[in-house]
Every structure is written in structure tokens, then in C-alpha cells.
Amino acid sequence: MIVRTVVFAVLLLTVAVIETSVLPFLPVPGLTPDLLLLITMAVALKDGPQAGLRVGFSAGLLADLLVAQAPLGSATLVLTSIGGIVGTARPYLASQSITAPLVLAFLTGAIGTAAYGSLSLLLGEDRVTWELLATSALRVGLFNTLLAPVALVGIGRLVARFPMGSGGGEP
């Protein structure tokens, strides 16, 4: 259990650094996926709500610490909710389906980004406009869908190598 926790902590830190330091410098214009959200979705889909909640909370807290202006806790709230919702919905999805995870990646990317932006807007961040909210949500949803197969395969191998302990959250 401790090894799994350490592995996922290192994974989240690496993903956060890649998102802020690597993707902006790649020669792909407008490349703005939300990798932390994608990881949260993939873990919740593979391991259920309890793992999704934990990873979502940690990923959200990390994202909150790396932004300067939005209230700390906004991303935590959104990613924890995404992890919980996807994990809870897991038994209702066809386990061998290829399209379901892709659709889920698009929906979580778009809805998560829109929810984060709306929350910022409600908390007085007037730099967020509805137009920006819509374009960002669509763009993140699209890029997350493109990267979903890689994330799902990678997370699948990781959770198989480091399964949850006996007190895990298998529904």
C-alpha cells in the first residue's frame, strides 16, 4: 500500500511538471491537455471510487499549488468530484468497450475544465469569460480524448503492478 502511494505520488508530481514545463515548449500549437484530470479519470475507471477520490484529491491539491490566482481548493474540489463520479459510474460501463473510455475522457475533460472555470468565476475571478470557458473546455476535452488511450494503458499496467491493498475500494 505504501509503495503504491509513493508510486502514485511520484506519478502525479511528474505529470504536473510535464504539464507546466514540457508541453508548453513542444512545437504543437495550442497543446493544452489537463493531464492531472486525465490521470484521475483513468485511476477511477480502473480502480473504483475510493482510489479515484484519493488520486483526484491529491492531483487537485497539486494543481492548486501550481496556480497563482485561483482560490486554493478549486481544482481539489473539481478533481475529487470527477474521481468520485467516474469511480461510481464504473460498474455501469462496459468493461471491454473502447469508445466508453474515450467518451468519458472527453466529457471529464470538458466538464472538469468548465466546472473549474465556473467555480473561479463564482469566486470573483473576472478574467474568466464564458467564451474562454467554452473554448478551453472543448480544447481540453479534445486533447484529453487523444491522450486517453496512452493514459489508460499506462495506468492499467500501473494498477496491475501495484494493486490496492486488502482494504481497497473495489465496489
Partner 1 sequence: MYQRRRIRILIGILLFVALLLITLDVRGGGDGVLDRLRGTATGVLQPVQDGFSTLVRPLGTATDGVRELFSLRSDNAELRERVEDLEERRRVVADLERENRELQGLLDLEERLQFETVAARTVALAPSSFEWTITIDVGSNDGVARDMPVIAGPGLVGRVIQVTPSAARVLLAIDPNFSAASRAARTGEIGSISGRGSDPMLLQPLEPGADIQRGDEIVTSSFAGGVFPGGIPIGVVADEGDTTARLTRSITVLPYVDFTRLHHVLVVLSAPVEPVPPLEGTPGIPFEPPPISPDQDDTDDMDDTDDTDEAPEDPAPPEDLGNADDGSSP
Binding-site ranges for partner 1 (CB under 8 A): 13, 16-22, 24-27, 32, 36, 49-50, 53-54, 56-57, 60, 63-74, 76-77, 80-81, 84, 88, 113, 116-117, 120, 123-129, 132, 136, 139-140, 169-171
Distances from the Cα of 127 to the Cα of 36, 69, 123, 131, 132, angstroms? 23, 10, 11, 11, 9
Q: Which residues contact 138 (CB under 8 A, 6 or more apart)?
A: 110
When the beta carbons of 9 and 161 are compared against partner 1, the nearer one is 9
In the complex, least distance from residue 3 CB atom to partner 1, rounded to whole angstroms: 21
In the complex, least distance from residue 49 CB atom to partner 1, rounded to whole angstroms: 5
Cα 97 from chain centroid (whole Å): 20
Cα separation, 143 vs 152, whole angstroms: 14
When the beta carbons of 84 and 96 are compared against partner 1, the nearer one is 84
